[in-house]
Structures are given as structure tokens and as C-alpha cells.
Amino acid sequence: MQREDFEEILNFAISREQEAIKFYQDLQNQAQFQDQQEMLKELEAMEQNHIKIIEKIRQTGVKEEDIHKTPNLKISEYITSDPDNLDLSYMNILIKGMKREETSFLLYSEMSVKFPDLEISTLFRRLAADEAQHKKFFESLYDDWMRKGN
């Protein structure tokens, strides 16, 4: 693999994280309640931290053992609501987040099998694993909220 390819993929991943940051910032501007704004700021910070992780990968590279396994609760796969048309209730913020992370996970997973280069494939699988972790975060919040009878 050429270093330029690796850098280009990392730049692409960072741009996706920057889009996610803007997404949460835009939702903060639409949120009507302080609790919603605070949660959205936490989600924004989570995405900013992901940029730091990607930058660390840029410096140190990626290895197979860097890919962590995250159980899939499969909640987002069963939700058919169009997240773009949802209001900003707590439940809908969680749906918007989990759907966004699911899309990123699927994109990186698909890219990991399209590239025969082992290092590039490993990089995409690592990025997908990180998105799976984010998706599980939203799904866990959603599951907890639903169990409380909401």
C-alpha cells in the first residue's frame, strides 16, 4: 500500500467525523431543551474524540489487534423511521444518532472487503469497529429508555 492511499482514507474518515460534528451542532441549534443541548454536546465531543483516534492511527498505523469486537444489538436495523423527518424528542435524537452510525459502519465494512491490500482492509475494519461502538452506545441508551416504559 502506498502512504498516499492510507492518508487519503484517513482524510476521508476525518471528513466524515467533521460532518457528524456539524450534524450534532446543527441539532443543538434546533433543540428546545437544555437537556437535549447538553446530550448533543456530549455526542459532538464523542465525534471530536474519534478524530483524535484517527489522527493517532495516522501516526502509529493500524494492526489487526486494534480492531475491537462490539456486540450488535440490531436495534437500528429494526427501526424504519426516516431519521431526517423526526422531531427532536429524546428518542428521536437517539434514532438519528444510531442510524447515522449504522450508515458509517456499513460504509466502512463494505470498503474493507473491496480493497485487497491487507493494511487498507484492516484500516477500514478498524474504522467500522469504531462506528459499531458508537452505534451500540446509541442503541444501549435507546434500549434503556424503552425499558423504563417510555
What pLDDT does 4 receive?
Answer: 87
User: Which segments of the chain have a pLDDT < 70?
Assistant: 1
Report how far residue 112's alpha carbon sits from residue 25's, in angstroms, rounded to the nearest whole number: 30
What confidence score (pLDDT) does residue 70 get? 95
Looking at residue 88, its pLDDT comes to: 86
Q: Which of 108, 67, 90, 97 is nearest to 145 (CA)?
A: 90
User: Which stretches does DSSP call E strand in 71-149?
Assistant: none
| pTM of the predicted protein model | 0.87
Give residues with Cβ within 8 angstroms of 141, minimum separation 6: 94
What does the domain layout of the chain look like in residue ranges? 3-147
Q: What is the pLDDT of residue 75?
A: 96
- Does the domain at 3-147 match CATH 1.20.1260.10? Answer given as yes
Q: Return the pLDDT at 2.
A: 77
